[in-house]
Amino acid sequence: MLLKFQDRYKKIVFDMLSLLPEMGQISRINQTFQWYHDASNRHLYLWKRHSNNWLGLIGVEVRPKLIIIRQLVLVPEINDRSLSYFQMLDDLRQRYSKQRFMGDFETTAICQVWERSHSVGK
């Protein structure tokens, strides 16, 4: 299940972003958070399965025919990382059924594998 960012989840979002190697310092996390906050076409979503625990975060930039996946984060406790990334992207697909998904430099590989797995048999 994906939940669009709400102010009450700011600490959780910051914790999730801190798991990304490229974030490093708190100033970088603040910049990234502000980047999403400053534009109406950029969104952060928290992700969980059926439990009450947040397991991941996905950051997107929405364009008319394209969704750019900017961040994909899973908590370290997740053992089935590929499956979990796919579940996150499947949940995102339910929100953006008409647009094509594309990754950025950091997320392209997982987005391409997810896309290929969904084109099998079509």
CATH number, position 15: 3.40.630.30
Question: Considering the chain, what is the average pLDDT of its residues?
Answer: 91
74 — phi, psi (to 5°)? -125, 145
* Residues facing residue 102 across a β-bridge: 68
| Residue 2's pLDDT band (cuts 50, 70, 90) | very high
| Residue 120's pLDDT band (cuts 50, 70, 90) | low
**Residue 122 clears pLDDT 80, i.e. is over it:** no
pLDDT digits (tens, 9 = 90+) for 37-84: 999 999 999 999 877 789 999 999 999 999 999 999 999 988 888 889
**Residue 102 clears pLDDT 90, i.e. is over it:** yes
Q: Look up the domain containing 71 and give its range.
A: 2-119
Q: What is the pLDDT at residue 56?
A: 94
pTM to 2 decimal places: 0.91
Phi-psi region at 47: left, alpha or beta (left = phi > 0; alpha = psi -120 to 50): beta
For 48-52, 83-87, 101-105, which range has the lowest pLDDT when averaged over its residues?
48-52
Rounded CA gap, 122 and 113, in Å?
15
100-103 β-sheet, strand order:
2-4, 42-47, 56-63, 66-74, 100-103
Domain count, the chain: 1
Count of positions (residues) in the chain = 122
